[in-house]
């Protein structure tokens, strides 16, 4: 065994001391820098009530805790509504939450929520889904595509548009 501070080999009785809040196993010299001592936790072996075969023991399966899944859905056909900051603020106030309360509820910093309400920060899709679920609001709307009229092709043309066709159409439109 080696000292966790200086690296010297510890031949006999290791010192277990607390140095700056860390539990360490150190040599006699380095133990002078520590405050207090600690004892390692005893090793626990799990023995089954009725072993299936002699000498075979089974540890109980670890307990698994399921967390809420806040995975954001990536959807390029939607965007955040205009005036999202005011919508978030009004919904938060309607439910009687402060920015601090809402931050704790959705596991976000209060400063992030303030910036969203002032529209200095646009929320990402994960944060949008948290806000929508918690405040019972809709912040994502379908993207409206701008429709542009295709320039008229010269009569009798059964071909694709060229840059020249587009330039001509723009000049004619400007006149």
Q: Phi first, then psi: give them for residue 39, nearest 5 degrees.
A: -120, 140
Per-residue H/E/C for 53-116: CCCCCCCCCCCCCCCCCCCCCCCCCEEECCCHHHHHHHHHHHCCCCHHHHHHHHCCCHHHHHHH
Mean pLDDT computed over 133-143 = 90
The top-scoring range by mean pLDDT among 55-59, 91-95, 155-159 is 91-95
Cβ atoms of 57 and 46 closer than 8 Å: yes
pTM equals 0.43
Q: Which of the pair, 60 or 64, is modelled with greater confidence?
A: 64
Give residue 165's Cα distance to chain centre.
49
- Provide the pLDDT confidence category of residue 46 given band limits of 50, 70 and 90: low
Q: By C-alpha distance, which of 146, 145, 140 is closest to 78?
A: 140
CATH 1.10.260.40 domain residues, the chain: 78-142
pLDDT tens readout for residues 113-128? 999 999 999 998 889 9
CATH class label, 78-142: mainly alpha
Cβ atoms of 5 and 30 closer than 8 Å: yes
pLDDT score of 93:
95
């Amino acid at each position: 065994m080696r000292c966790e501070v200086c690296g010297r080999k510890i031949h006999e009785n290791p010192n277990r001391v607390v140095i700056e809040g860390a539990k360490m196993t150190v040599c006699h010299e380095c133990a002078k820098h520590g405050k207090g001592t600690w004892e390692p936790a005893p090793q626990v072996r799990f023995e089954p009530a009725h072993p299936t075969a002699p000498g075979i023991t089974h540890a109980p399966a670890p307990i698994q805790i399921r967390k809420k899944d806040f995975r954001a859905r990536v959807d390029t056909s939607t965007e955040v509504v205009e005036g999202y900051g005011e919508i978030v603020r009004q919904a938060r106030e309607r439910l009687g939450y402060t920015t601090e309360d809402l931050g704790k509820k959705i596991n976000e910093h209060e400063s992030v929520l303030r910036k969203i309400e002032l529209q200095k920060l646009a929320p990402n899709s994960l944060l949008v889904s948290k806000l929508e679920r918690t405040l019972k609001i809709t912040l994502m709307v379908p993207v409206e595509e701008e429709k542009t009229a295709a320039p008229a092709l010269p009569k009798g043309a059964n071909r694709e548009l060229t840059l020249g066709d587009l330039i001509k159409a723009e000049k004619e439109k400007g006149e």
